[in-house]
Structure 1
């Protein structure tokens, strides 16, 4: 089975960290899900929560990914309970030490898994102006990027839906792009998540075009609900058409749940994605990303 774009299903990306195709695989063993991804012609696997998993599991999954010739998707740089940590928004030596320690653990996990992209999310102080916090974020990113780039890693910023994940440094895509331009470092790039962009800024195709030069990873989820394509507002046919016609080389990470969990939904989801992918390969480029 071949695909036009390089899709990567997740094997657990948020609590309770259930893998995307749990019913079809019949197991939560991440190695079984790597094998499933390979059998279905996917290009990679999104093991986003690897940083919090035991090193033995990280190594086992990394070995399976390599054996199947797949690519590891991005890893969250810290554990899920630290998503709102405000160190990135803080100009202090203590904050920089915390960031360095987290990144050291993240890069060690990434090496075991075979990943090179680290998702960076930062919390904001609620009662303080956001401007100085983003200035600190820029400075901290520059320092961190210099460090991780030496070992071939990329820091990836992501905007988040303020209704579901409030209190973060980046909720709107224009703010993320402003930070990226201020950092101006090749090892700091963007995760374009369709659900978060749709929820916060709307008009995903226009924002895809505006952000194009900064995009490292594309993540697919519908809005509202972070469910499978076709359940909400996102124009996935348009998104995949742009990616295919522009020759997007990166992973398209499938980071969503199911409206109705179970094997039948998972089968339908695979079939629908296949139809979208085939249509994208055959359609002329349209819309705002021309």
Structure 2
């Protein structure tokens, strides 16, 4: 499922179950005290707790905080109004929460054959979006931004495409680095046309860009589909990983719904001393408030590794 449709469909699924009985959600079935955060820093997204907290993202953030979550991520932050970006940032700061990734590319051009071509028009788009992202990040308190280099350019060898991507990312890094911002390159499994698909490939590109503003986004759902061996591949690319995301496979739902042993994976990440964010970029296996409570319990179970 493509990123531009994923969160919309997640939110729509929840919206069909959101009724005037919202007040009944004030007493959740499964709740941890607000002062009982998880061992790792998991980040919910807009729509994930819509049935329990309502449609307003600010209310969802507060609900997430009350259940122990300490971060959010929002792929569509660039498209929100500056006023809402700042309101989200102010809310997070007040609660002591963190802002995770948003997608840096406007108009979803990262799904096209773009940076691999080496063409100036795509470099210009990247530079424009990076400059816009600096302002967005300041308003919402973000540090990390997702970048996807685009699809294969069939007229060029893999090596020339790689060189083109590295050159473009070096230019983008020069915009972000002075502000302490980090673009994280995501390896995806959505379709075989995507250029960036494997952790060793992203690791090599980050090494070549050689900037603290260019790191890897290791989405464990995508990597389970593309290469498996999650713990070993995390270890091999650890120096260049700037951000992690979660999703069980098959199905791209919460931990415990597929084949991946997330309790062991989380334990390994914790033992490595990871202090960053793990984005909950997945759907929910059950509907309604019951499904959202089951999701919270699934994270409590998987996070119970100490």
State the TM-score, normalizing by the size of structure 1.
0.88
1:86 paired residue among 103, 113, 126: 113
SS for the counterpart of 1:206 is: helix
Deviation at 1:192, TM superposition (A): 1.0
* Structure 2 counterpart of 1:229: 255
Q: Aligned pairs, how many?
A: 270
Whether 1:35 and 2:62 are equivalent positions in the alignment is: yes
Deviation of the 1:54 alpha carbon:
2.0
2:138 is equivalent to residue 111 of structure 1: yes
The 5-angstrom pairing of residues 2-13 of structure 1 reads 2-11=37-46
1:172 to 181, 198, 201: 198
Is the contact made by 1:126 and 1:167 (CA closer than 8 Å) also made in structure 2? no
Taking the aligned partners of 1:142 and 1:111, their CA distance within structure 2 comes to 22
User: 5 Å matches for 1:255-270?
Assistant: 255-270=281-296
Q: Which residues of structure 2 form unaligned runs of 5+?
A: 1-35
Equivalent residue of 1:191, what SS? strand
Deviation per CA, 1:82-119: give whole Å up to 9, x if none.
23143322324333221111111222212111101111
Of 82-91 and 146-155, the range deviating more from structure 2: 82-91
The aligned residue for residue 158 of structure 1 is 186
Distance 1:166 1:60, change over 3 A: farther
Matched residue SS, 1:83: helix
Shift of 1:166: 4.0
Q: CA RMSD in A?
A: 1.6
Q: Does 1:24 align with 2:52?
A: yes
**1:68 lines up with 2:95 in the alignment:** yes
CA deviation profile, 1:98-148 (whole Å, cap 9, x unmatched): 111111122221211110111111212452333211110001111111221
Aligned residue number for residue 104 of structure 2:
77
Q: Hey, what does 1:53 align to over in structure 2?
A: 80
Pick closer, same or farther for the CA change 1:225–1:131 going to 2, 3 Å: farther
Is the Cα–Cα contact under 8 Å of residues 218 and 245 in structure 2 kept in the other structure?
yes
Instruction: Name the counterpart of 2:175.
Output: 147
